Amino acid sequence: MNPKVSRRNFLMKGAQVCVGCCALIALPKLSANGLSSGFLPDNEIPDPKKLNYCGYKCPDDCKFLAASINNDTALKKEAFDIWKIEEKYGIAFDPEKIFCFGCKTTDKPEGVIITNCTVRKCAVEKKIDCCIECKELTGCSKELWTQFPDFKKMVIEMQTKYFETRGA
């Protein structure tokens, strides 16, 4: 690690990247199930209240969420290994610090990933439920979008569909 990079900045950047990776891990699974136009079936109208701030919808079988809810160290470790968090971001496994209850949960602690998500922080500051409501999305250059442009394109497609249904 470069000694000029603070541990705080390193962890913050790693967490931001992790959020994007978590979202993108599901893309092949979603595509294989015939889902397009973001993460929704073609005939479903995007509902910002049912989506994460970035437009992703966590799957019902999310191992990280199940591990966090049940405080299951073995399942946390499994999710940690599947997402290769230590390899990609240099964050060692610590069952007390590795958890995720979802980015919109207000009655649970925020893990390092949620705390450092710039997309989430922006949406909360703008008092919107999801980036599909933001008219600045197309030009937004938050790290999640610049690092994962295909994900951003899918969210913009959802936004277009959302605005078309609202007449905006």
Sequence-distant (6+) residues with CB within 8 A of 6 are none
Does a structural domain hold residue 121?
yes
Find the domain containing 149 and state its range. Answer: 7-33+47-163
What is the rounded distance in angstroms from the CA atom of residue 15 to the CA atom of residue 83? Answer: 12
pLDDT greater at residue 149 or residue 19: 149
The domain total for the chain is: 1
Sequence-distant (6+) residues with CB within 8 A of 60 are none
Average pLDDT over residues 138-142: 96
What is the rounded distance in angstroms from the CA atom of residue 150 to the CA atom of residue 98? Answer: 27
Does a structural domain hold residue 56?
yes
Does a structural domain hold residue 28?
yes
Does a structural domain hold residue 168?
no
pTM of the model: 0.70
Average pLDDT over residues 95-123: 87
- Asked if the model's pLDDT at residue 22 lies above 70, the reply is no
Give the H/E segment covering residue 153: helix 149-166
